[in-house]
């Protein structure tokens, strides 16, 4: 009997998630770049073309897939546990860092910009320096990747600078 590497359910969900994100993006103005090499928290970079011109406007992304995302608060949000080290990494990025949670069953991509999320929830800063390993990120169910993606386009043109208090500031 031969022994070969096994494909796991998580690997399948991960591959499917990236494919769904790429398929969902409006290719008229987004270019998807898959990160290769060591996984330090960033899975992809999305680059925005404006009026058919590339102006180096980007979003860094972490892609997470779930067959059935956890709904909370009367189904208005989904919740996803994100590692603290990934959040800390995201907060140091000068470009928007976005968590993409892909519902692989319904092929819906939800997103949450991490810098904006932490600024809106400054109480998270204490958790980021504690022994806590993950933080549950809430994503409004209406915050999805779709053809009308003006919010994602705005994020791609936003520059962030870490402040002394630990909160990033859009400049």
For 25, 50, 61, 72, 140, the CA distances from 111, given in Å and listed in that order, are 12, 21, 9, 16, 8
- pLDDT category, 136, cuts 50, 70, 90? very high
Indicate whether 4 belongs to any domain.
Answer: no
- pLDDT category, 20, cuts 50, 70, 90? very high
Indicate whether 74 belongs to any domain.
Answer: yes
Residue 166 vs residue 140, higher pLDDT: 140
The pLDDT of residue 118 is 95
Q: What is the pTM of this model?
A: 0.93
Q: Which domain holds residue 85?
A: 9-170
In the chain, how many domains are there? 1
Q: Are 44 and 33 in contact (CB under 8 A)?
A: yes
Q: Give pLDDT tens digits for 65-118.
A: 999 999 999 999 999 999 999 999 999 999 999 999 999 999 999 999 999 999
CATH number of the domain where residue 161 is located: 3.40.1350
Indicate whether 105 belongs to any domain.
Answer: yes
């Amino acid at each position: 009997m031969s022994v070969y590497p096994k494909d796991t359910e998580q690997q399948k969900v991960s591959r499917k998630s990236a494919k769904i994100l790429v398929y969902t993006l409006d290719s008229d103005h987004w270019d998807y770049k898959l990160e290769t090499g060591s996984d330090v928290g960033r899975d992809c970079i999305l680059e925005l073309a404006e009026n058919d011109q590339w102006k180096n406007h980007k979003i860094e992304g972490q892609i997470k897939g779930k067959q059935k995302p956890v709904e909370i608060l009367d189904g208005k949000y989904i919740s996803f546990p994100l590692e603290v080290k990934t959040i800390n990494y995201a907060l140091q990025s000068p470009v928007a860092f976005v968590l993409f949670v892909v519902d692989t069953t319904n092929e819906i991509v939800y997103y949450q910009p991490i810098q904006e999320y932490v600024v809106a929830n400054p109480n998270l800063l204490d958790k980021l320096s504690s022994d806590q390993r993950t933080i549950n990120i809430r994503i409004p169910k209406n915050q999805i990747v779709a053809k009308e993606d003006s919010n994602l386009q705005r994020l791609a043109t936003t520059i962030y600078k870490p402040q002394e208090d630990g909160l990033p500031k859009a400049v």
